Amino acid sequence: MYLIVGLGNPEKQYEKTFHNMGYIAVGDAADALGARFKKKECEASVAEAYIGGEKVVLARPLTYMNNSGRAVKQLMSKYKIPPENLLVIYDDYDLPKGKVRIRASGSAGTHNGMRSIIGETGLTSFARIRIGIRDEAVDIPIINYVLSEVRKEDYELFGAACKRAGEAAAAFAKGLDIERVMSQFN
């Protein structure tokens, strides 16, 4: 069983913000796997898919970004997800906009959602897909930037990045090991 989590904020006002790249990308992964977000459990909106009889749970925490770890911990416990079958998708200010980077493990970096997940689960060895959002031309505090809306001229770039991240997550859910996912999608 796999758990794919896309980080973001649940209210409509955040829908088109940089901090919701994970929500968008996990939606693209759900589309690729033929799943729909239909239920709420463990403080998350959840979709389910089956691949070769193996269940895949896709989730969007409803706890707001800074408390994402609560939902992830609950889902991992409920579905008995081993750390090697967890993948988290999120925006990353430390990467240039539109870049997609996949890692098998790591720290939270500057990301409060990842800090929450690591704090709640006690894990750092789980797969993650980072979607770069940094725009060198924009000079405002990070907190203001991540909660600002993506500019219309960047929709295509970020749409393509989220789609690529979603495809990588779907490949992982289909059993492609993280090293091969990295070599194929990084």
Strand partners, 57: 3, 48
36 phi and psi angles, rounded to 5 deg? -130, 140
27 phi and psi angles, rounded to 5 deg? -65, -40
Q: Which of 9, 16, 48, 14 is nearest to 30 (CA)?
A: 48
Active site residue 111: no
* DSSP E strand stretches across the chain: 2-6, 37-41, 44-51, 54-61, 86-96, 100-103, 127-134
Helix and strand counts by DSSP (H, E) for the chain = 6, 7
Distance CA 93, CA 179 (A): 23
Task: Give kind and range of the element (H or E) at residue 179.
Answer: helix 178-185
Contact between residue 178 and residue 127 where contact means Cβ atoms under 8 Å apart = yes
Residue of 5, 14, 19, 64 with catalytic role: 19
Residues serving a catalytic function are 19
